[in-house]
Amino acid sequence: MSGRNGLGNMPEEKSLKDLIVRMMDSYHLSDKLAEMKVRNNWNDIVGLTIAKNTRKLSIYKKTLYLEVLSAALRNDLYYHEKTIVEKVNQFVGLQIVEKINIK
């Protein structure tokens, strides 16, 4: 007898996590889940000052779209775009954002 537990050639078992990840990818839900994680934890990612001045936040085609209330803060965010991109990607654990569009 070969295979596990003497049962012959049984299909390889997949973990529940692997199956869920594959299902989410097939329905394109991974990006939406990551966007929701960023939105729900925006304060932890960028800090209270930026979070309080951010009106809208969305991610589409690897671009983080932000609507910021303060013009001065908007300028500062342009200078720190690379840092914010890195923080968002690190927080989510995926390369979900490559650039930022700030309005």
pLDDT tens for each residue of 36-69? 999 999 999 999 999 999 999 999 999 999 999 9
- Please check whether residue 21 lies inside any domain of the structure: no
- Please check whether residue 2 lies inside any domain of the structure: no
> Can you give the residue range of the structural domain that contains 83?
28-102
Q: Mind listing the pLDDT tens digit for each residue in 74-87?
A: 999 999 999 999 99
- Please check whether residue 7 lies inside any domain of the structure: no
CB 83 within 8 A of CB 100: no
pTM metric for this prediction? 0.74
CATH assignment at residue 61: 3.30.300
* 20-44 core/surface letters (b: 16 or more CB in 10 A; e: else): eeeeeeeeeebbeebbebbeeebee
- Please check whether residue 14 lies inside any domain of the structure: no
